Structure 1
Amino acid sequence: MSFSSQTKGELARVMPSKKCCMLAEITGFLRVAGSLRLAGGGKFTIVASTENPAIARHYKTLIKEYFGSNAGIEVGNSQMPGKSRGNYRYRYSLVIRPDEKSSQILRETGMMLIREGDEFLSDGIYQPIVRSKCCKKAYLRGLFLGVGTMSDPKKSYHLEFVLNSEHVAHDLRKLIGSFVDLSAGLIERGEEHIVYMKRAEYISDMLGIMGANEAMLEFENIRIGRGLRREVNRISNCDNANVD
């Protein structure tokens, strides 16, 4: 299992203790992993997809706990080539239909807003959801479980969020920057907007902020080991140079 998958597995076991944090985490995940299908009568079905069944089950549980909605889980094949049967990964889609409170969920997560009596779909991070520090942490966890990934720290230090929305990307940078001594870069990769971190201390802090404490400790152990090896190599090279 990759370090990124291991981290997501740990985060998918985190259950927020506060209702506000439940809503924040649900909102973060749906914002980046969700899409809408017309269901007739001006209503929508929410579909949020992931290749990790534990993540799908986690949000099914959270949505049931917070909204009392019994979301379904549909299994299909991902378009991304993989190692699973048929050379495709399975994709697990969380499906919330109108009779399971999809309209209420859209409103409370700020994905659907009202202006001058008319409903419209919003973009960006809905700021009322992330006013408190605990909710910011929960929101980041939802974003990472939706579109986050990180490299194997034994090879390199890199954590990123792959976003389709430029507005969400800019809002995410601001959200990350609201934490002391933390910042992230932003680049475009084709039509995608990538919010990323390459500094080891930032990545370690981000893991802790999101609640991946086991991953953070393992990351730090690997980081210390790499640092010691570099120092040993440096001393060895200096000794060899002095001998020469």
Structure 2
Amino acid sequence: MTFSSEVKNEIARIIPTVRHCILAEILAIVYFIGTVSLSQNGELSLKINTEFSGLARKYFTLIKKTFNINTDVVISNSTLVKRKRLYSVSIVDAAEAKEVLKAIKLLKNQELVDDLPLGSNTVLLNSCCKKAFFRGAFLSSGSITDPEKGYHLEIVCSTMDDALFLKELMEDLSLLPKITVRKKAYVVYIKDSEQISLALGLMEAPTSLMSFENIRILKGMRNDVNRKVNCETANINKTVSASLSQLEDIQLIKEMMGLDKLTSNLEAVANARLENPDASLVELGKMISPQLGKSGVNHRLRKLSNIASQLREQVRRENG
């Protein structure tokens, strides 16, 4: 089972305790995956289609609990994905369909208002109702990536107006989503791990949230270890590279003029480096009498490098 399925299974079992939040979640389900049909004699019917049995069960329960309406449930094979089932939950009685649509403010004066902006829907006035709507929207048209692979939560909308409304609703809940266009759909998404944690909390998915946080913490620890290892490796490579360059300079000075021609301070550092090619600057400083600090050793090694550069230039001129 995917992480996205685990989240949906958890929140599909949540039944709000108050009517206004139930209506908000029904509104989200109907708005994202619902279909309102008119028969030849003008009678309304309301149906949702989903491949997620948990959502079909939840919608059936919400309708029964709130309106005492018995819905028709039909299970068929999905035409889009092989070995997937399609669950259709229908309210075929026109009066009952109107009752639901009127309660979620999609019916006004007995007329369907399918072009009514969600932002003006009075079902979504309360913060708790916005959370319920967000949960229903995710159940109906959302997904979340396995946190082991990456951080990405999204809800797919059919129009830009819907995407902009959902973005604004999520912002009211302290989320910071973005919108992108994917083929003919508009995707509202979050990629920040802390924001996804907040979203899971808002949808009341504590088990999934704990799992997500555990993975996020472990990934953070692994990343910290990797950064430290990479940093230490880079430092080691830098130290080895510098040491090799210093050895080349000192060897050149030794061959062309002899180390005994150097000042005693430079000769001491040069001999210490030749005898201890793998030592750090701090370690070299402790081998010299009197002892030197890291900056003092580095200063003398730079002087040796300058002398070696002068000798190389001298050879170049003589051979030129």
Q: Which SS does the other structure have where 2:39 is aligned?
A: strand
> Mean Cα displacement is larger for which, 37-46 or 212-221?
37-46
Q: Which SS does the other structure have where 1:110 is aligned?
A: coil
Deviation of residue 14 (structure 1)?
A: 0.5
Q: Which SS does the other structure have where 1:188 is aligned?
A: strand
Pairing 1:199–2:202 present: no
Q: Which SS does the other structure have where 1:141 is aligned?
A: helix
Please, which runs of 5 or more residues in structure 2 have no aligned partner? 238-320
1:93-104 correspondence to structure 2 within 5 Å: 93-99=88-94, 101-104=96-99
- 1:85-107 CA distances to partner (integer Å, 9 max, x unpaired)? xx341111111112570011111
- 1:27-82 CA distances to partner (integer Å, 9 max, x unpaired)? 1111101012223432221111111112101110111000111111111222322x
Pairing 1:80–2:80 present: yes
Instruction: Tell me the TM-score normalized by structure 2.
Output: 0.70
Please, which runs of 5 or more residues in structure 1 have no aligned partner? 82-86
Match for residue 155 of structure 1 among 127, 149, 160 = 149
Q: Which SS does the other structure have where 1:121 is aligned?
A: coil
**Equivalent residue number for residue 67 of structure 1:** 67
* Contact kept? 1:80, 1:88, Cα under 8 Å: no
1:21-40 correspondence to structure 2 within 5 Å: 21-40=21-40
**Equivalent residue number for residue 112 of structure 1:** 107
**Equivalent residue number for residue 12 of structure 1:** 12
**Equivalent residue number for residue 135 of structure 2:** 141
Cα distance in 2 between the residues matched to 1:88 and 1:124: 37
- Structure number with the higher strand fraction is 1
Give the letter aligned to residue 147 of structure 2.
P
1 or 2 for the larger relative contact order (CA 8 Å, sep ≥6)? 1
Match for residue 216 of structure 1 among 201, 205, 209 = 209
Q: Which runs of 4+ in 1 moved over 4 A?
A: none
Give the letter aligned to residue 24 of structure 1.
A
Give the letter aligned to residue 78 of structure 1.
S
Match for residue 125 of structure 2 among 128, 131, 154 = 131
Q: 1:74 to 1:210 in 2, by over 3 A?
A: same
Cα distance in 2 between the residues matched to 1:43 and 1:26: 21
Q: Which SS does the other structure have where 2:149 is aligned?
A: coil
> Mean Cα displacement is larger for which, 19-28 or 122-131?
122-131
Pairing 1:183–2:213 present: no
Q: 1:123 to 1:163 in 2, by over 3 A?
A: farther
**Equivalent residue number for residue 166 of structure 1:** 160
**Equivalent residue number for residue 236 of structure 2:** 243
> Mean Cα displacement is larger for which, 24-33 or 70-79?
70-79
- Structure number with the higher helix fraction is 2
Q: 1:119 to 1:141 in 2, by over 3 A?
A: closer
How many residues in Structure 1 have an aligned counterpart in Structure 2?
Answer: 236
